[in-house]
Structure 1
Amino acid sequence: MKKATLLFASLLTLLFISCTGPEGPPGFDGYDGVDGQDGIDGEIGNVFDVVGDFTAENEYQIFVDFNEIVPSLEVFENDVILIYILWDQTEDNDGVPVDIWRLLPQTRILDQGLLQYNYDHTFLDASIFLESDFDLNTLPTGDTDEQIFRIAVLPANLVAGSKLDQSNITAVMQTLGVEESIISRVNLN
């Protein structure tokens, strides 16, 4: 046992001694590579509005192609896509209109039955659609025409592990550093 301990201590000492000393000469520089073509800078996260109608012709769904709406927007597979519907408007103490946004899905209880505004998405596009337990042709235009949606694209690394209240559009916009005044609105009709 003493021989093994002595051998181990000797090897350990040799290892530490051999790692010290003057630095050797620098190596030769390699050849420069060929310059690549500059790419387009992508945006990290974004918020934008879309306006659309739900009709029988479009099967009560609004299709949003991210590259058509915001060509410079780069969405990755792990990014979080949140869609809000402009549910109502109220006024502040000065009489200025204030938008009330709700995170989808949202369900309405109507005389005909249950109506749900819902969505699905990929990293390329989103589809906002209506689901119901009744004939959608019976819906009034207030539930189908000129519907306004706010789409927020959040980078996965920004959301991972955060306590961000995703149902709060104001908190989401603050996290992304987006001001209401710079949000673009695209009419899809």
Structure 2
Amino acid sequence: MKRILSFITVFTLLLTACEGPQGPPGFDGFDGQDGQNGQNGVNFVGQSFESTIDFTAPDYAVSIEVPLDIDLIESDMVLVYHLKDVVDEYDVWKPLPETVYVNSGEEFQYNFEHNFDFVTIFIESHPEFDFNQLFEDETLGQTFRIVILPVDFVNSSNLDINDFNAVMEVVQ
């Protein structure tokens, strides 16, 4: 009995004596309720808006102003998706850049660039491409969704930015 009591006493002393100095403080966390509006308890605000545009000669480019209620900062990631079709009442979106092959064996791309105020969506191809080959359904009434995500979130998650539905699940 003495041995058991001695063993428990030594064990208890060892457990209480295993304390070291406190480490450096960690970084401040995100404000808000954990698990809300994000993955893995990370809160962020992803934003999106849509625009339907017509591509016309000579530039085949349209600049779309970023709405004033969207805060676009330098480190944010801008993604653009093209509405390709509606199947069984569900939208089919394709990320840009998007290569399109025309009947003559040629190809062109829908592409984009952006700054803090505008997202410019354009059609581009090789210098000898004949833009007269384009059909109206390739140039007129084209709908695009512009999505703005904080780059910290994109880098810290396993988000597949090529999967429109996955991206829209994390956008408010």
TM-score of the two chains, using structure 1 as the length reference:
0.63
On the 8 A contact 1:44/1:74 being kept in 2, the answer is: no
Structure-to-structure mapping, 1:15-30, within 5 angstroms = none
Q: CA deviation at 1:108?
A: 1.1
Paired position in structure 1 for 2:25:
none
Paired position in structure 1 for 2:64:
64
On the 8 A contact 1:82/1:103 being kept in 2, the answer is: yes
Q: CA deviation at 1:132?
A: 2.0
On the 8 A contact 1:78/1:156 being kept in 2, the answer is: yes
Q: CA deviation at 1:115?
A: 1.3
RMSD value over aligned CA atoms?
A: 1.6
Paired position in structure 2 for 1:87:
84
Count the aligned residue pairs: 126
Q: CA deviation at 1:148?
A: 0.2
SS at the partner of 2:137?
A: helix
Identity rate of aligned residues, in percent?
36
On the 8 A contact 1:79/1:123 being kept in 2, the answer is: no
On the 8 A contact 2:96/2:111 being kept in 1, the answer is: yes
SS at the partner of 1:171?
A: helix
Q: Unaligned stretches of 5+ in structure 2?
A: 1-43
Q: Unaligned stretches of 5+ in structure 1?
A: 1-42, 92-96, 179-189
> 2:142, 2:93 → 1: CA distance?
12
On the 8 A contact 1:120/1:127 being kept in 2, the answer is: yes
> 1:145, 1:115 → 2: CA distance?
15
- After TM superposition, what 4+ stretches of structure 1 lie above 2 angstroms from structure 2? none
> 1:98, 1:72 → 2: CA distance?
28
Of 141, 159, 163 in structure 1, the residue corresponding to residue 154 of structure 2 is: 159
Any idea what the Cα deviations from partners look like across 1:141-173, whole Å, max 9, x if unmatched?
010000000110001222123210101111111
Q: CA deviation at 1:111?
A: 2.1
Paired position in structure 2 for 1:12:
none
